[in-house]
Chain A
Amino acid sequence: MNSPVGVISPGRQGILRRLADTLWRRPRLLLLLMLALPVSWLGVIYLGSLVALLVQSFFSIDEFSGLINYEFTLKTYRELLIPANLDIIVRTVSMAAVVTLAAVVVAFPIAYYAARYARGKWKAAFYIGVMLPLWSSYLVKIYAWKLVLAREGILNWLFDKLHLTWLLDAYLSLPLIGGNSLSVSYTGTFLVFLYVWLPFMILPLQASLERVPASLLEASADLGASAPQTFRHVVLPLSLPGVIAGSIFTFSLTLGDYIIPQIIGSSRLFIGQAVYTHQGTAGNIPLAAAFAVVPIVIMGVYLWMAKRAGAFDAL
């Protein structure tokens, strides 16, 4: 028991002890073992299934029997580019862009107020107000909106009481954004998208606005900048990472959603619905996979442009 203690102790006996020694001496091995499971989850299950889906887009479908033909072909991509499908893509991307812009405009004042002025219980009220819609079921909210926007719905009733039905009718008679009632128009789809995704814009924006030091705003004012100038040259550039983060959420969520346009809107398909129809019901997995590639490509381009615009420099 009185063995001399050296600088490097000799290895101990027993499997567990040896194992412990080995891991202690080789931290990289320990790291590898600990990360193996989560990384393989990300690699195999998360990315692997995505790759499996994308590979499908290079197969084609036998048009009559609906069986998939497992041979490499670009036929499915040609099919993706027919005018009716391009319409779907353009429609979805425009909707996502408009929803994102509107979300920035609506969210900015709210987030600014919460970051700069709200204190104590008002701050708590702000968080609850923003988060509350996220706690209730997504479907319940959409069906509620269907009733709000319906021809016999609450909004119509309100306009009627205010004797403003002519205003609503004039708006609905506009081409493209109008329709027979709000619930079957693009405006309705837009409003519901905006409502459902707004928290995803407010929260990152608020976080980034809180990091803008008050001293910079004072300095700007001391140097004679007007409020709009301060906003343009100080607040906006510094909060841009928050805007970009929020817009990634609202943009990609709108690109992929298939429930809102199915319940509220004019039955014109969005990308998510096209994926759902082709994969879930028509069994045309190749075309559905090709449609699923579209948002990935669009988001890739979007992130690349955001990076070029310097959105990530402040991260």
Chain B
Amino acid sequence: MLTNKIIVAAIAACFALNTAQVLAADMLTKLGKGEGQVDIVAWPGYIERGETDPSFDWVTKFENSTGCKVNVKTANTSDEMVALMNEGGFDLVTASGDASLRLVAGKRVQPVNVNLVPSWNTVDKRLQNAPWHTVDGVHYGVPYMWGPNVLMYDTRAFKKAPESWSVVFEETMLDDGKSSMGRVQAYDGPIHVADAANYLMYHRKDLGIKNPYELNEDQYKVALDLLRQQRKLVSRYWHDAFIQMDDFKNEGVVASGSWPFQVNLLQADKHPVASTIPQEGATGWADTTMLHADASHPNCAYLWMEHTLSSNLQSDLSVWFGANPSVPAACTDGRGMQNAAGCSANGLDDFEKIRFWTTPVSKCKTQVSCVPYYRWVSDYIGVIGGR
């Protein structure tokens, strides 16, 4: 009898041990020693070590204090990031909302134990449980940066800031006496369908759009029709930030959805542009640092996640990229170069007006079923092709 009990206890212990191991493999519960390096997939300009401009450096100090060498692979689009993560060999990715859920669905990223990130509590409350990185209450990452897709306009063609996105969707007579035909641009990515939906949400209440990323067939069709109408106004879609800036300078483009990044650079170049968030609100991006499912340097990765929230990174990156910190205190507490006025210029106060990029999925919350992302991809190629 005694032996039996011992055996049962031993088996139970084994099971318990196994479960604990499974949990440990699922999510780190305790930080160990750094592994000496961390490999990150990031947007260009997101991780600076003072090589582009010596005053923008948020890597060197981290490397010196933790001994984790930071290796960065830049990617230009969300789709590229997903592709790189699918290939593997990376620990972290700064994924936008239109990539993050795809990574979770593809099991390319693992849950993050926020207890191991001491500065988690300083993160903007509105971002802590954001749906683009929190699935069924499980956090799959730590918020990094966010920003709006602003309407950039040429101040010679607009006497005052345009009040509506209609300038890029409908032919308008501009203040310089010429039509907007051929002088506006739009983003060359399927996620732009959401900008059309956002516009319709305000102007066509009868369609009942609740969320520009959750469209049923009828709403989607109207959005595509709006984009087909836009195709007539647009001579070239923008894909590369620098080509867009060239088009504003040499191609007579006067209005387009854009990022604060281009606005800041063009203004620095004394080109007469300004930006605004019109009455309909705007779409925007909110990026999350996510941990690869098979990360080979998890300890360094956790240390980096903490570093992104607690160091000068949030503040200085906000200045560098024209984005907003996920830790609101970074705007004011002087940990870096950013100040309250700078954050306001980047759109910090417009948080409520912004509908952040999320991957459209068939099983959506506000409708019975929605048009999924892959349809957005092929249909948007068709719209640009004139179909």
Which residues on A are within 8 Å of B, measured CB to CB?
A: 62-67, 79, 82-85, 87-88, 91, 146-147, 150-153, 179-181, 183-184, 262-263, 265-269, 274, 277, 280-283
Asked if A181 and B235 sit within 8 Å, CB to CB, the answer is: yes
Asked, given contacts A184-B235, A184-B236, whether A282 binds B377 with beta carbons under 8 Å apart, the answer is yes
Asked, given contacts A66-B102, A84-B382, whether A281 binds B251 with beta carbons under 8 Å apart, the answer is no
Main SS of chain A's interface residues? loop
Closest chain A residue to B360 by CB distance?
A64
| Residues from chain A with Cβ under 8 Å of B83 in the complex | 66, 280-283
Asked if B382 and A180 sit within 8 Å, CB to CB, the answer is: no
Q: Which of B74-82, B256-264, B269-277 contacts A (4 or more CB under 8 A)?
A: B74-82
Asked if A64 and B105 sit within 8 Å, CB to CB, the answer is: yes
Bound form: Cα–Cα A82–B379 in Å: 10
Closest chain B residue to A151 by CB distance?
B252
| Least CB distance, B126 to chain A, in whole angstroms | 26
Q: B218-252: which have CB < 8 Å to A?
A: 234-237, 239, 243, 246, 249-252
The answer, yes or no, to whether B386 is at the interface (CB within 8 Å) is: yes
Asked if B237 and A150 sit within 8 Å, CB to CB, the answer is: no
Bound form: Cα–Cα A62–B374 in Å: 10
Asked if B80 and A267 sit within 8 Å, CB to CB, the answer is: no
Q: Which of B6-14, B16-24, B110-118, B181-189 contacts A (4 or more CB under 8 A)?
A: B181-189
The answer, yes or no, to whether B159 is at the interface (CB within 8 Å) is: no
Asked, given contacts A82-B378, A281-B76, whether A65 binds B251 with beta carbons under 8 Å apart, the answer is no
Pick from A67, A146, A152, A269: contact of B384, CB under 8 Å? A269
17 contacts between A and B (CB under 8 A): A63-B373, A64-B102, A64-B374, A66-B83, A66-B102, A66-B106, A82-B378, A84-B387, A85-B378, A87-B385, A87-B387, A91-B385, A179-B182, A180-B182, A266-B235, A269-B385, A274-B381
Asked if B105 and A65 sit within 8 Å, CB to CB, the answer is: yes
Bound form: Cα–Cα A262–B237 in Å: 10
The answer, yes or no, to whether B361 is at the interface (CB within 8 Å) is: yes
Closest chain B residue to A279 by CB distance?
B83
Q: B167-202: which have CB < 8 Å to A?
A: 181-183, 188
| Least CB distance, B378 to chain A, in whole angstroms | 6
| Least CB distance, A48 to chain B, in whole angstroms | 21
Pick from A65, A82, A85: contact of B106, CB under 8 Å? A65
| Residues from chain A with Cβ under 8 Å of B249 in the complex | 152
Q: B73-95: which have CB < 8 Å to A?
A: 76-77, 79-80, 82-83, 86
